[in-house]
Amino acid sequence: MSGPADEAAFMRRAIALSEEAVAKGQAPFGAVVVDAAGRVVGEGHNTVRAHHDPTAHGEMVALRDAWGRLGERGPLEDCTLYTSCEPCLMCTVVIAQMRLRRVVFAARGTDVPGAQRLFDADLAKAAAWIDGRPGWRAVEVEGDVLRDEALAVMRLFDWL
């Protein structure tokens, strides 16, 4: 199991990936998938513009990478997703469907300039809804981890 130092290292990697995204003209979102043994099994950053794919959020890219590396979906259930920003509603649905154990994020969705929330939903509200559904696995959520570092990268991106 990972400790606080590992947690910070995983989040710093997600933030570094968000910085890579900015350097490539992509929105500043990066994510890392870590298994129960503390190994990085997937990572990625936003590639929406590069791939003309509105689903290519950092979390989605990292989850696709993890599933590809693991070869099957089952092991993802014991993983934690570290992401530079609170997942949007689309990513939250996928996180729930993949039955991830835990999500740790840095910046909040409300920190994204011009962001509009569908149903005024955030990850915490969605997780509470998921947790109350029979047959759905509860999702542990921790936010604001290294938030200032993530916000510094977000300021590097031209949001226009």
Catalytic site residues?
59
State the DSSP code for 111: G
The helix/strand/coil state of 48 is helix
What lies within 8 Å, CB to CB, of 70 at 6+ separation is 41, 42, 76
Compute the distance between CA of residue 30 and CA of residue 46 in angstroms, rounded to an integer. Answer: 6
Consecutive H or E run containing 130: helix 123-131
Beta strands in 11-134, from DSSP E residues, in sequence order: 30-34, 40-45, 80-85, 102-107
Compute the distance between CA of residue 148 and CA of residue 111 in angstroms, rounded to an integer. Answer: 11
